[in-house]
Amino acid sequence: LNGGALERLIQILARLPGLGPRSARRAALQLVKKRETALLPLATALEEVARTVRPCRICGNLCEAELCAICADPEREGSQICVVEDVEDLWALERAGAFKGRYHVLGGTLSALDGIGPDKLAIGPLLARLREGGVQEVILALGATVDGQTTAYYIADRLTELPVAVTRLAHGVPVGGELDYLDEGTLTAAFKARRSL
Amino acid sequence: LNGGALERLIQILARLPGLGPRSARRAALQLVKKRETALLPLATALEEVARTVRPCRICGNLCEAELCAICADPEREGSQICVVEDVEDLWALERAGAFKGRYHVLGGTLSALDGIGPDKLAIGPLLARLREGGVQEVILALGATVDGQTTAYYIADRLTELPVAVTRLAHGVPVGGELDYLDEGTLTAAFKARRSL
């Protein structure tokens, strides 16, 4: 019906989270109609993100410099590291404002089903950070899913040799839920009631 | 929190129909994570659409050539022109498969509120097409909204001087609804029961 390029754009848009085939069609048509104010700015923003956005060398957060704003901020408490699965979760915790320490992004969870072993996550870099010293507490802010909890126990086990306290978020995180979906009150409460693992 | 380029991308994505702030964040992070398989293909598709997709010279449908596939198809009935508000509506009618003639895309409806007068719609080009002759029926397939019906009566009025029958879609189109949201059965029934205006 429509041209090949437009069809391709619709198919690519339909794979984005939150967009289905119908909304992808509407989005593509709106982009074509608003070429100067929507399509070209989106193309430019994508190119800019592709060129400039990269993981922070220390924690794995996304940034446009070598270090993210959190790792570069001398005000953040260096003695606490909060371990999260993904950048979404880091952003959710930052929105809650409950934590003033630093982060470590694993890049996922262990998963036997998906064949994700410890070497595919940033667990080695976490151990290296901890061996440099100065960290007193590692907070495992992983989802209350089977994979999240498996990952938390695996990391806690690897950390027993190091002189750090290992805590996890208090239950309050709904079982089976993901951090990114929680309201800020629940995240704050879970942070405050964290306990030794 | 995150870098400027990523923030801009999220803001642009959040303006797309069907995406809110949260889904725009998730979409942007997925794009960054899947740089090679999602971000770069989307950027390429957008550039390609910006470069190649344009309105059909005759009907206003979107295409990559001078004429769209419908206008270029000698099999389509040239004696019937179906007037639609937007390309979405043309696609919806094509999916229903109820019409084998040709189209004319107005590019919107008359709207006193939004200051859209006849000169902002492709009504002049429609009259020019009809004056060339060969068209026996103009089907006004506009939404059953106040603006859609106002536009239909305005166009019917302009066409009284020409030797063409003017019809509109049968009621069956829900009042207040938009064509793009209708199921194919309703669209087909509305086409079959169209009547003189």
Residue in B closest to A182 by C-alpha = B22
**Could you say which residues of chain B have pLDDT below 70?**
1-3, 171-172, 175, 195
Query: What percentage of residues in chain B have a pLDDT greater than 70?
Result: 96
Distance CA A118, CA B7 (A): 31
The alpha-carbon gap from B166 to the nearest alpha carbon of chain A, in Å, equals: 26
Cβ-defined contact of B29 to A69 (cutoff 8 Å): no
Query: How many angstroms separate the Cα of B24 from the Cα of each of A33, A192, B9, B12?
Result: 20, 30, 8, 8
Ramachandran assignment for B104, one of left (phi > 0), alpha (psi -120 to 50 degrees), beta (any other) = beta
Q: Dig out the tokens for A12 from the structure.
A: 């690519």
The closest CB to that of A45, out of B9, B30, B69, belongs to B9
Q: Dig out the tokens for B118 from the structure.
A: 């006849």
The closest CB to that of A27, out of B16, B65, B94, belongs to B16
Q: In sequence order, which ranges of B34-145 are alpha helices (DSSP H)?
A: 40-52, 69-72, 87-96, 123-131
Residue in B closest to A48 by C-alpha = B5
What are the chain A neighbours of B1 within 8 Å (beta carbons)? 69, 91, 94
For residue B151, give the nearest of B97, B86, B54, B71 by alpha carbon: B86
Which three-class secondary structure state does DSSP give residue B107? coil
The ipTM, to two decimals, is 0.76
- To test the contact with chain A by mutation, choose from B7, B10, B11, B12 the residue with the greatest count of A C-beta atoms within 10 A, namely B12
The percent helix, strand, coil of chain B (3-state, each to 5) is: 50, 15, 40
The alpha-carbon gap from A139 to the nearest alpha carbon of chain B, in Å, equals: 20
The answer to whether residues B72 and A12 touch, using CB atoms and an 8 Å cutoff, is no
Q: Is A45 an interface residue toward B (CB < 8 Å)?
A: yes
Please report the pLDDT score of residue B171 as a whole number. 67
> What are the pLDDT digits (tens) for B48-74?
999 999 999 999 999 999 999 999 999
Please report the pLDDT score of residue B18 as a whole number. 86
> What are the pLDDT digits (tens) for A52-71?
999 999 999 999 999 999 99
CB within 8 Å of chain B, chain A residues 159-178: none
Distance CA A24, CA A196 (A): 46
Distance CA B133, CA B136 (A): 8
Q: Is A102 an interface residue toward B (CB < 8 Å)?
A: no
Name the CA radius of gyration of chain B, rounded. Answer: 20
Give pTM, 2 decimals. 0.75
**Could you say which residues of chain A have pLDDT below 50?**
1
Please report the pLDDT score of residue A98 as a whole number. 84
Instruction: Name residues whose C-beta falls within 8 Å of residue A5's C-beta, 6 or more positions apart in sequence.
Output: B45, B48, B49, B51, B52, B53, B64
